[in-house]
C-alpha cells in the first residue's frame, strides 16, 4: 500500500472519503485524523481488506463503497483468485451489512466484464451523496417539527462524511439543521476505544464551523439527564427487519438514557443498511476486536478483555429511523421490512 499526502480534493473540487482514480482506490486514512489529512492509494484487494480491518476506511456507507470498488478491482483477476478475493472482502468486517451489499451489487455485473463492474461501483459512489442529502433533509424536517426549538443534538461514533462517500448520515442531519439555522449545539461522545467521536466527528464539526462539546462516554447519560441535549441522532451498521439497530458500542446505553430522559432517539441510515433477511439484532454477528485496543490507554498488558465493537438497540427504544425514502417509527411498532 502506498500512502500519499496529496490534497484529497478532486478535479471537480469535491472531497470524497473514498474514490476511484485511474486504476486504483484512493481513500482518506481515518487512522491519521485529526493530526494529518493523508490519502491512501490502494492497488489490491488484499490491501483494501487490510485498510478496512484497521479502520483506515470505516463507517457503513463507506464500507459499501469500498466493497463495490474492491469488486471492481477483483474483476480484473482470474476467476480463481477473484472468487477468493471477493469472499475475503465480504468477510473483512462482519457487522455492517453495507460491505457485503456493496460487493454483491457490483459483482452482480461480473458476467458483463470488468468495465461493467466498475461502472456499477461508481454508481454506488454517485448515489451515496444524493441519498445522504435526501435523508438529511427528511431528518431535519422531522426533528425541527418535533422540537419546535433549536436542536441540541447528541451523537455517538462518527456518522459523517468520513463514514460515507460524501455528506454523512447522522451528521448529515446535523449539517442540514445547521444550514437552516435550527441547530443549537452538538454533544459528541468520545467513543472508546478507537475514539471516532473525538478524532473524527470533532474534526468534521470543526471543519464545518459547528459548535460542539466533547464528552466521555461515561458522561453520555448525564448530558441527557441534565437536559443539555434534546435529541440523539446516530448512524447504523445494520437495521434488522424488526427495527433493531446495530451500531457502535455505546449506542444501546445512549438509547436507554434517551428513553429515560424522554428525548427522541433518531437513527439515520440509507436503505442499504436495512437487512430484510435478518429478523432481529440477536441474529447479527457482533465484531469482537483485539483487546489491545482497550488496553492501549493505561491497561495492564495481558488483562482479559471483551472488546465488542457494536451493540444492539432494541426497536422499542428507537423513536425514528430516517432513510432517503422514508421515516419509520419502530417504537410505535413500525417495521423496516
Ligand atoms: O467501527 P466503525 O467506526 O466502522 O463504526 C462505525 C459506526 O458505528 C457508525 O455509526 C455506522 O457505521 C454508521 S456510519 C454512517
CA 149–ligand 1 middle distance (angstroms):
28
C-alpha cell at 177: 439543521
171 lines ligand 1 (CB under 6 A): no
Q: What is the pLDDT of residue 328?
A: 98
The pLDDT value given to residue 14:
66
CA angle 166, 170, 176 (to 5 degrees): 75
Q: What is the C-alpha to C-alpha distance for residues 4 and 23, in angstroms, rounded to an integer?
A: 16
Least confident range of 8-17, 189-198, 201-210, 245-254: 8-17
Q: Which 3 state secondary structure label does DSSP give 274? A: strand
**Total-model pTM:** 0.96
Centre of ligand 1 from the C-alpha of residue 223, in Å: 22
**Cβ–Cβ under 8 Å, residues 283 and 246:** no
Q: List phi, psi (to 5°) of 92.
A: -60, -40
pLDDT at 13 over 80: no
Residue 38 has a pLDDT of: 94
| Domains in the chain: boundaries | 2-127, 136-332
> What was the pLDDT predicted at 321?
99
What average pLDDT score do residues 140-147 get?
97
pLDDT band at 1 (very low <50, low <70, confident <90, very high): very low
pLDDT at position 45 over 50: yes
- Centroid of chain to Cα 88: 21
How high is the pLDDT of residue 3? 43
**Is residue 233 within 8 Å of 268, Cβ to Cβ?**
yes
**Cβ of residue 159 lying under 6 Å from some atom of ligand 1:** yes
Q: How sure is the predictor about 15, in pLDDT bands with cuts at 50, 70 and 90? A: confident
pLDDT for the residue numbered 148: 86
User: For residue 114, how far is its CA from the centre of ligand 1 (angstroms)?
Assistant: 29
Q: Does domain 2-127 sit in CATH 3.30.43.10?
A: no
- Cell numbers 475514539: residue: 195
**Tens digit of pLDDT for each residue in 274-297?**
999 999 999 999 999 999 999 999
Name the pLDDT band for 9 (thresholds 50, 70, 90). Answer: low
Across 151-170, average pLDDT: 98
CATH 3.40.50.620 corresponds to the domain 136-332: no
Strand partners, 234: 267
pLDDT mean over 9-21: 78
Instruction: Report residue 87: phi and psi, to 5°.
Output: -65, -40
Query: Does 289 sit in the ligand 1 pocket, CB within 6 Å?
Result: no
Cell reading at 281: 439484532
User: 156 and 248 in contact (C-beta within 8 Å)?
Assistant: yes
267 CB near ligand 1 (under 6 Å): no
Active-site residue, 83 included? no
Decide whether any atom of ligand 1 lies within 6 Å of the 247 Cβ: yes
Instruction: Give the mean model confidence (pLDDT) for residues 257-274.
Output: 98
Helix (H) or strand (E) holding 108: none
The whole-chain average pLDDT of the chain stands at 96
pLDDT of 2 over the 70 cut = no
Average pLDDT on 148-162 reads 97
d(C-alpha 47, C-alpha 63), whole Å: 14
Check pLDDT > 90 for residue 179.
yes
Per annotation, catalytic residue among 237, 244, 275, 311: 237
Three-state secondary-structure class, residue 296: coil
Ligand 1, residues 65, 96, 294: which to mutate, most atoms within 8 A of Cβ? 96
Residue with the smallest CA separation from ligand 1 atom 8 is 248
Task: Quote the ligand 1 centre to 48 CA distance (angstroms).
Answer: 17
Q: Could you give the C-alpha distances from 26 to 14, 15, 18, 132, in angstroms and in order?
A: 13, 11, 6, 21
Ligand 1 touching residue 56 (CB < 6 A): no
The arithmetic mean of pLDDT across residues 186-193, rounded, is 98
* Cβ atoms 231, 154 nearer than 8 A: yes
Report which ligand 1 atom has the smallest distance to the Cα of 93.
Answer: 4
Ligand 1 binding pocket includes 235 (Cβ within 6 Å): yes
Amino acid at each position: 500500500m502506498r500512502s500519499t499526502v496529496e490534497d484529497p480534493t478532486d478535479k471537480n473540487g469535491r472531497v470524497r472519503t473514498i474514490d476511484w482514480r485511474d486504476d486504483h482506490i484512493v481513500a482518506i486514512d481515518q487512522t491519521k485524523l485529526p493530526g494529518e489529512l493523508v490519502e491512501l492509494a490502494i492497488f489490491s484487494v488484499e490491501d483494501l481488506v487490510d485498510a478496512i480491518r484497521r479502520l483506515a476506511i470505516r463507517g457503513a456507507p463507506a464500507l459499501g463503497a469500498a466493497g463495490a470498488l474492491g469488486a471492481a478491482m477483483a474483476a480484473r483477476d482470474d476467476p480463481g483468485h477473484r472468487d477468493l478475493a471477493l469472499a475475503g472482502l465480504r468477510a473483512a468486517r462482519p457487522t455492517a451489512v453495507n460491505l457485503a451489499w456493496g460487493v454483491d451489487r457490483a459483482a452482480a455485473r461480473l458476467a458483463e466484464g470488468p468495465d461493467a463492474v466498475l461502472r456499477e461501483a461508481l454508481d454506488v459512489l454517485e448515489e451515496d451523496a444524493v441519498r445522504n442529502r435526501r435523508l438529511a433533509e427528511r431528518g431535519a424536517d422531522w426533528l425541527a417539527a418535533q422540537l419546535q426549538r433549536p436542536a441540541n443534538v447528541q451523537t455517538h461514533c462518527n456518522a459523517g462524511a468520513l463514514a460515507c462517500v460524501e455528506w454523512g448520515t447522522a451528521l448529515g442531519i446535523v449539517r442540514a439543521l445547521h444550514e437552516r439555522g435550527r441547530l443549537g449545539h452538538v454533544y459528541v461522545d468520545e467513543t472508546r476505544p478507537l475514539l471516532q467521536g473525538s478524532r473524527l466527528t470533532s474534526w468534521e464539526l470543526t471543519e464545518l464551523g459547528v459548535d460542539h462539546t466533547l464528552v466521555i462516554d461515561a458522561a453520555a447519560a448525564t448530558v441527557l439527564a441534565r437536559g443539555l441535549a434534546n435529541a440523539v441522532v446516530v448512524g447504523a451498521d445494520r437495521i434488522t427487519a424488526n427495527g433493531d439497530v446495530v451500531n457502535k458500542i455505546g449506542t444501546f446505553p445512549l438509547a436507554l438514557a434517551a428513553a429515560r430522559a424522554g428525548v427522541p432517539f433518531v437513527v439515520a441510515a440509507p436503505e442499504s443498511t436495512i437487512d430484510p433477511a435478518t429478523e432481529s439484532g440477536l441474529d447479527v454477528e457482533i465484531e469482537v476486536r483485539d483487546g489491545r485496543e482497550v488496553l492501549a490507554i493505561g491497561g495492564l498488558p495481558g488483562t482479559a478483555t471483551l472488546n465488542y465493537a457494536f451493540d444492539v438497540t432494541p426497536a422499542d427504544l428507537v423513536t425514528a429511523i430516517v432513510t432517503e425514502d422514508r421515516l419509520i417509527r419502530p417504537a410505535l411498532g413500525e417495521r423496516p421490512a
